[in-house]
C-alpha cells in the first residue's frame, strides 16, 4: 500500500476515534484544530513542496498526540492518570508530552523549510534558529491559550490544562525546548539524508 494512503488511513482512524464521544466537544475542537488545519495544508502542498518522509511521519505523530488529548482533554488521558497514581502524583502529565512534541516536530519542519528555501545552510546557525522558531511557536501557542481562556472563561479550563500548576506555561515552553533540541540531536543525520534525496 502507498505510504501516503497509509498516512491518511491512520490519520482518519485516529480522527474518527477521537471525535466519537469526546469528554467535551468544545475542548475537542480547540485541541484537534491544529491537526485539522494541517491536513488540508499537507494535501495542498504535497505536489508543489513535498516534505521528507521523516517530516510527514512526525506530523502524523503530532496529529495523533493532539487527537488523543482532544478525546480526553490533556488533563484526563487515562494512561497518564494511571502513571500519576503509580508515581504518587496528582497531576496528569500528558500535556507535557504534547508540549515536548510541540518542539520535537516543528523543529524538523522549520529546519526543512529553511534549508530547502536556501534561507540558511546546514550547520550551527540552522540548528540554533530552528530551536528559536520552536520557542517562538511555543510562546505563541501559550498566548493563544490565554486569549481563548480570556474570551471563553471557564469553558477553556480543560484547554489550558494547568491543573493548578503555577509554572505550567513556563514548563510547557521548556518541554518544547527539550523536544526541539532532542529532535536535532537524534534526527539531523537522517533528515540530511532524506533532504539530499529530494
Q: Is the dihedral of CA 171, 173, 175, 178 positive or negative?
A: negative
Tens of pLDDT along the chain (198 residues)? 688 899 999 999 999 999 999 998 988 998 899 999 999 999 999 899 999 999 999 999 999 999 999 999 878 888 876 666 666 677 777 888 888 999 999 999 999 999 999 998 999 999 999 999 999 999 998 888 888 777 776 655 555 555 556 677 788 899 999 999 999 999 999 999 999 998
Rounded CA gap, 114 and 165, in Å? 36
Backbone angles phi, psi at 162, to 5 degrees: -70, -30
Rounded CA gap, 9 and 144, in Å? 30
Domains of the chain, residue spans: 3-197
In eight-state DSSP terms, residue 51 is: P
Closest by CA to 26, choosing from 159, 161, 163, is: 159
Neighbours of 91 (CB within 10 A): 18
> Could you tell me if 28 and 66 are in contact, meaning their C-beta atoms sit under 8 angstroms apart?
no
Amino acid at each position: 500500500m502507498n505510504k501516503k494512503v497509509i498516512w491518511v488511513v491512520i490519520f482518519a482512524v485516529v480522527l474518527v476515534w477521537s471525535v466519537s464521544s469526546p469528554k467535551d466537544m468544545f475542548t475537542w475542537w480547540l485541541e484537534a484544530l491544529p491537526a485539522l488545519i494541517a491536513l488540508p495544508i499537507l494535501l495542498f502542498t504535497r505536489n508543489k513542496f513535498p516534505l521528507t518522509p521523516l517530516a510527514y511521519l512526525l506530523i502524523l505523530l503530532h496529529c495523533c498526540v493532539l487527537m488523543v488529548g482532544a478525546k480526553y482533554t490533556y488533563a484526563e488521558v487515562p494512561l497518564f492518570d494511571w502513571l500519576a497514581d503509580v508515581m504518587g502524583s496528582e497531576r496528569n502529565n500528558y500535556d507535557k508530552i504534547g508540549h515536548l512534541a510541540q518542539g520535537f516536530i516543528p523543529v524538523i519542519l522549520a529546519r526543512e523549510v529553511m534549508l530547502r528555501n536556501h534561507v540558511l545552510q546546514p550547520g550551527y546557525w540552522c540548528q540554533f534558529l530552528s530551536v528559536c522558531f520552536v520557542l517562538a511557536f511555543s510562546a505563541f501557542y501559550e498566548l493563544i491559550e490565554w486569549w481563548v481562556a480570556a474570551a471563553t472563561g471557564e469553558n477553556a479550563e480543560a484547554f489550558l490544562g494547568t491543573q493548578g500548576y503555577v509554572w505550567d506555561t513556563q514548563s510547557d515552553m521548556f518541554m518544547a525546548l527539550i523536544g526541539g533540541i532532542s529532535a536535532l540531536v537524534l534526527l539531523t543525520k537522517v533528515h540530511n539524508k532524506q533532504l539530499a534525496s529530494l
